[in-house]
Amino acid sequence: MKKLAALFQASYGELRSVRTITTMAMFGAVGVVLGSLTIQIGDFIKIGFSTIANQFVYYLFGPAAGCFFGGAMDILKYLIKPTGAFFPGWTISAMTAGVLYGCFFYKKKLSLKRVLAAELTVAVICNIFLGTLWLDMMYGKGFFALLPMRAFKNLVMWPVNSFLFYSMTWALEQSGVFRAIRRSA
């Protein structure tokens, strides 16, 4: 428990740096642009690419910064391109995902096993469970009616998202980009 508290404290400390905030803002801008490339499949399933930019923030700055960033980006993306009514449940999911990814990645060695575990955890908790709950609350379509298709989509995308994040993060680590960001922040 002390390790988790220290992890959150270190992550919270990251938010005191102006360079950290500006780096988060740049990744946020990339996330907004990538968010415009979202593919909508029916009423309840969409495949988006903005998560990659968000995950870089969670990886670099941790769970506290990730929680703040996830919530802020959810609201900002809604203000820029509203799709339906605003529902705070999606913001809670984004913040929860930021905390979970931050706990898995922050100040830890990057490995495919860790990325797979993080992606599966976020997919199950935030996308399958909470996301289906929010859709049920918003549209009254029935939690168990929506659950199979959302679970299928997330389980199919799990290895794809994991490999995409792992390969991009590994390449940026090897090139020294993330080391330079950490040093300046």
Q: pLDDT value at position 40?
A: 75
pLDDT at residue 44 is higher than 80: no
95-118 pLDDT, tens per residue? 999 999 999 999 999 999 999 999
Say whether pTM exceeds 0.85.
Answer: yes
- C-alpha to C-alpha distance for 59 and 24, rounded to whole angstroms: 11
Q: pLDDT value at position 159?
A: 92
* Tokens 């168990």 sit on residue: 144
- C-alpha to C-alpha distance for 120 and 151, rounded to whole angstroms: 11
Average pLDDT, the chain: 91
The two structure tokens encoding residue 60: 């670099």
Q: Three-class SS of residue 99?
A: helix
Mean pLDDT along residues 112-128: 97
Range scoring the smallest mean pLDDT among 22-26, 36-40, 63-67, 98-102: 36-40
